[in-house]
Amino acid sequence: MQPNRNRIALFFSLLAVIAGIVLIVWLVPRLSTLFSSQRPAGQVGYDSSTVRAEVLEILETGQITLGERPQRYQVFTARVLEGNFAGQIVEIEYGLQQIRPNDADVRPGEQVLISVGVRPDGQIVAFFTDFIRIGSILQLFLIFVLFSVLIGGWKGLRGLLGIALSLIVIVAYIIPQILAGKNPVLVSIIGSFGFLAVSLYIVYGWTLKTHAAVLGMLIALVITGALAWVSINFTRLSGFGDENVMFLAQMTATPIDMRGLLLGGMIIGALGVLDDLVISQSSAVFELHGANPALSLGFLYRRAMNIGRDHVAATVNTLVLAYAGASLPMLLMFSLNNQNPGLLLNLNFIAEEVVRTLVGSIGLFASVPITTALACLAAVYAHRMGKWRRWLGPETGTEEHSHFH
């Protein structure tokens, strides 16, 4: 019976891979509407005057003090590569009148982002905006792909497909649906569970281990969403804690439920860590059961929970540190101003981060016993599933062909 299960598992695993590829192919054309230059009225990105330019020559380099801070400055010429001023050669001062964010100098031959405009007297003026980092990011991504394939092998390659699917669903489905005025909570739950479920089957195959992880993730996701909804209402958060949300409200012609957007962000933010927890816990259960199939349900659950407690404690610590690290500049600013910590916690944007961390952590805590229980039930009582057993695949997909039940 085991070879038959392996064939069924292989069929459904390939089906998940094909479904992922088809979904990516279906969603990719929809990216054009999100990144096209012709955006709907009221929906704008970079300012229309921001264009690419090629640095031609460095005219002057020196040292200057701005705001009691010494810094380097450069004066250079650049050729505008796009927009209404394409082909124009402009002179740009970088660091002469504004504080530079870093000490990186522009180099002749490289492309940068500049803002170009016209004065009332008709003179064209240009200002340095930022460096173009696409090439560097692409090189880092290729290194990431190389390590993923070399170390992860075929599973690493499938993991890359899962990552691509996740990002494309977020960009091509979740974001456009929210911008169209749909319920951010419903859109986030449907999109997130959809791409994560497919991603788990793509990476780990059609197995009992994956079924338990997917079901545990769904239950934990619903609990996290419900808890986030209660917490947002309980703490009276408005959803306008982030300044980007304020810009979004001004830039979009379609009304967006900002509290729902905050809730959707909490759900998606917890998913990455939730994905890791549920599959790790389910895998631990089936490995313990595989090492000793005679373990009782209660004993197996207690042993697996010992692993889960260690894992979730480290994961929550990672989650808190990640939020603290992202908020470090803000924390430093408030420390310099000697603000009252009690007052700070009442500020909307700080309260949002605190609630986000607490809700995400509680959701992670809930996922461990739920997934552990489901995996233990599936492992111990797999032989009682009757005719359904053959369609659910092997336990983990790693059993030896000589292992029969």
Report which of 34, 264, 42, 268 is spatially closest to residue 172, judged by C-alpha positions. 34
Q: What contacts 397, CB < 8 A, 6 or more positions away?
A: 9, 13, 204, 205, 206, 207, 209
Helices 348-380 & 208-234 angle (0-180, nearest 10): 150
Nearest to 126 by CA among 166, 178, 177, 86: 86
CA distance 265 to 244: 13
In tens digits, the chain (405 residues) has pLDDT values of: 455 555 555 555 555 556 556 655 555 555 545 444 444 433 333 344 789 999 999 999 888 887 777 888 899 999 999 888 899 999 998 888 877 777 788 899 999 999 898 888 878 889 898 888 888 888 888 898 888 888 877 777 777 877 777 777 877 788 788 777 777 777 877 887 777 777 788 778 778 888 888 899 888 888 888 888 888 888 877 766 666 666 666 666 667 777 777 777 777 777 767 888 888 899 999 999 988 988 899 999 999 999 988 888 887 777 777 666 766 766 676 666 666 666 666 777 777 777 877 887 888 888 899 999 999 998 888 777 766 666 776 666 654 333 333
Render pLDDT for 135-176 as a digit per residue (tens, 0 to 9): 888 888 889 888 888 887 777 777 787 777 777 787 778 878
Tokens of 165: 């699917």
**Residue 110 Cα distances to 55, 114, 116, 222, 391, angstroms:** 6, 13, 18, 49, 57
Rounded CA Rg of the chain = 26
Residue 339: count of CB within 10 angstroms of its CB = 12
Task: Name the one residue in this structure whose structure tokens are 């170009």.
Answer: 116
pLDDT digits (tens, 9 = 90+) for 23-54: 555 555 555 454 444 444 333 333 447 899 99
* 369 neighbors 308 (Cβ within 8 angstroms): yes
Residue where the block lists tokens 């705001």 = 67
74: burial class by Cβ within 10 Å (0-12, 13-18, 19+)? buried
Residue for token pair 């002057």: 60
Cα–Cα distance for residue pair 35/254, rounded to 1 Å = 18
DSSP 172: I
